[in-house]
Amino acid sequence: MIKKNINLKKLNTFGIDVFCDFFVEINSISEFFNLIKEPNYQSNQKLIIGGGSNLLFTKDFKGIVIKNNLKGINLVSENNAEVVVKVGAGENWHDFVMWCLNKNYSGLENLSLIPGCVGASPMQNIGAYGVEIKDVFENLEAYSINDGTTKIFNKNECEFGYRDSIFKRELKNKFLIASVNFRLKKQGILNTSYGAINLELAEMKIINPTIKDVSNAVIRIRKSKLPDPNEIGNAGSFFKNPEISKEKHEDLKKIFNDLVSYSLPNGNFKLAAGWLIEQCGLKGYEINDAAVHTKQALVIVNKKNCKGIDVFNLSNYVLNQVAQKFGVILEIEVNIV
């Protein structure tokens, strides 16, 4: 049932107090098919949300917000080495990762405690600690928001990039993702070399880690660095780590000896955006209750009751400061509405 004039504060992890003209929750595909016949649906701008964890509202939404609640976790196929699991787009991401760990299916342990729903995972090509969704992605089922036409997208068709996919570009808000299929291992090789996972495992006094141990290490690291959206409004990392050429990297190293960077297979380098922001002295910097987090400069938080435009203005200030100091252009990861 379509509702009118709904407050979205509890439906976005920034906790921005905005309203939408119309709002509806989709709990089954049949409900979606019924929805697209509604006059209010056909005549209004549309926005699909899941957990609201990668979203910044800068104003009220003049249109219809569709909350994707499609659920279900089912085994599609299995052999001695791997399984394919079909997951409803509305399932909580971390809960799904925990389900996999309990089944001893590996591949997602490094992506523990990432907020949001399963349907957003291929849209963002979410990633952490050396793993991205594209590494375990099989395909997804989606429906055109205009006419309900069904399409199966394989990995190539999703055009995955760094925190990017075709669903953030050409097909943005054009498809409702119904389910995602993941190909997971029964005896996977642990990926512990990225970031501080090995250090955390050593701190936990674990010598021969399991996938659950890796997950626990990731959870401990994330909790120590990133603010809990249930305690203070935020959308996790607000900026992407920028990629620069080898020549640009060499120039910066001459000026900044302690530049934090990582070499890439294509010969370019990826810079740590959080480090760049911190070097600009912006940790804790705030505009009207929107602030750069004091522990992780990649994150912008809503300290109390800021407006979305305050977060947006603060992000632009950060972009300008980093560009002036380093000559590097940061890119916003969060979806701005």
What residues act catalytically? 163, 237, 333
Structure token digits, residue 27? 């709990």
Q: Do 124 and 163 meet the contact criterion of CB atoms below 8 Å apart?
A: yes
What is the side-by-side strand order in the sheet with 269-271?
243-244, 269-271, 261-263
* CA separation for the pair 177, 37 (Å, rounded): 19
* CA separation for the pair 314, 145 (Å, rounded): 33
Burial pattern 183-214, b for ≥16 Cβ within 10 A else e, equals bbeeebebbbeeebbeebbeeeeeeebebebb
Burial of residue 173, with CB atoms counted within 10 A of its CB: 0-12 exposed, 13-18 middle, 19 or more buried: middle
* CA separation for the pair 326, 269 (Å, rounded): 14
Q: Provide the CB-side half-sphere exposure for 275 (13 A, CA).
A: 13
How far from the centroid of its chain's Cα atoms is residue 306's Cα?
Answer: 22
* CA separation for the pair 34, 31 (Å, rounded): 5
Q: Is beta strand 150-154 parallel, antiparallel or unpaired with respect to 19-26?
A: unpaired
Indicate the residue type of 139: N
DSSP label at 316?
A: H
* CA separation for the pair 335, 43 (Å, rounded): 23
Q: Is beta strand 137-144 parallel, antiparallel or unpaired with respect to 175-185?
A: antiparallel
